[in-house]
Structure 1
Amino acid sequence: MTTFAELLLGGLSIGSVYALIALGFVIVFRATEVVNFAHASLLLAGGYLTAVLGDDIGFWPALAVGVAGAAALGALIEFLVVRRYRGRDHGVLAIVTIGVDIVLITELTRRIGSRVHPMGDPWGDAVLTLGPVAVPQTRVAAFAAAALIIGAFLLAFRLTSWGVAMRAAAEHPETAALMGIRLGRVSLSAWAVAGALAAVAALFLSVFPTPGLERGTSLAALKAFPAAILGGLDSTTGALAGGLVIGVVQSLATGYQSELAFLGRGIGDLAPYLVMILVLLVRPTGLFGTRESARV
């Protein structure tokens, strides 16, 4: 039972980080109707800035620079690339973001090389003991930070003028433009927010029990993509639910891998995609996605 509790808490923690990444996918999709495959490069860029600047300016200022840098990079991609293709087929735009991701990931992995960059976080390898259950403090910090950030975002999304503009642009962009909402500004802010969320996620993906930031850290965005699809690409609530579900499933599948040996090795890495496929067979738009209706 202790093992199950530890795996469950660990799954909820990593799931909350996946939720941050999935929320970035959802924000960009709602603002532009584009699936942002460059999200992995935003994550790696934010984490890289935090790691390399930590020794020089300290952890918290480095984290602030990493978050701001990833947000600026996201906004730059929107302004220089995505905006130039606005109005074209969304599939073309998705392919364009794949190209952008390849270019950025190639440059970042060249800079990172084979090194593992420690993040210099204040939690270190400390462990929090709750009765018989031991949980790394980094996992607790990840869950708390993700909860605060997602909660603040949902409040802003519902109550601020930015949130109203975002929802209006997502529902009916032509009408929103006629009402004076600047779609370009909404799109730019969406990409910037997605980059900032990715940078925070990169931090918690690179701290204990992980040794640090490395070239493969960006692959976490691929694990979070099933969370966005599972919850529904147009649902902010779905991003949270999808992230938690994927995190728990991955943690339990990895923890009980020996009991699931008949399914083959590495089932923990495959489990998120299996869950995504099973859900999509029943609900093609995801758990909270909006079903489209058509008159015939």
Structure 2
Amino acid sequence: MIPITTQFEFRLVDGAAPSGELEADQLIAIAQSLKELATKLSRSETEAEPIGRPSARTQRVARLTIGLAPGSTRVLVRRSEDDDALAFDLDEERAFDEKFEAIVDSIALDERPDWVTDTVALAAGELRSALEKAAPKVEFLVAGRVSAKFSTAATHRETWRPRSTDQAPDTVTFVGQLRMVNLDTQRLQVTDDVGNKVALPNVVNADHVGGLIGSYVAVVGVPGLDARGRLAQIQEAVIEPAVGLAATAGARAPASLESILASAPGPEPGGLPGLAPQEAEAFLQAIGR
């Protein structure tokens, strides 16, 4: 049985890097966004759960090979071949290719199709942002034919955000310390006081959070859970300085010995109420204190 191996090509025109090359951070951002979009699409095509570890079947459909080639700078993308694919697997892969092409064409048109779910839209928005950082113009080719040409500045990230409050996934607020940041790829991480680490793959206001590194922040966005149902990442995050109680989380001043003793149960330092010092001392000796 012959596997389906449609090759997709992103030709990055007028980018800052020499022909056939790409800055490492830009390549990482494009590769990560392609992987995320492929995973979301493959979950849909294989009817997998939207969260948790994807099945082997889902991972196979989403498995990509990515390379660079000269001629402007060309990012080549195709799914890894699988000689053992079954008939229904080929149908899934064919549907994946068609929808992948449709999404990139929609990015070029700056229009979100009605069939695109919010989770797929978030991944498409990441790809759009990664392409915008890499080049001002993009040509998208499918199996050697030009499918779309567009200016990245003419597209908008807002096109791929959740459409309305009732349709959008639930949001979560997480308070912690901003410890790691790479603004070129918008990779940030926030850690709370007990060591829970949450990735922030696509921060909405990433260009304005550089001064918050090392400080406590409040992060609001769409939660992403791991296989055990724990918060692992926050999509479409907005980061603001933590205020009020949140601003002092994990940064409380050490308590004095006097305040600890005053709040502890038992006799207070300095004697016992209603007893002279000698009487209090005799009483304490009698009870073994």
- The TM tier, using the shorter chain, reads under 0.3
Higher helix share: 1
Superposition TM-score, scaled by structure 1 size:
0.23
Structure with greater proportional strand content: 2
TM-score normalized by the length of structure 2: 0.24
Structure with bigger gyration radius = 2
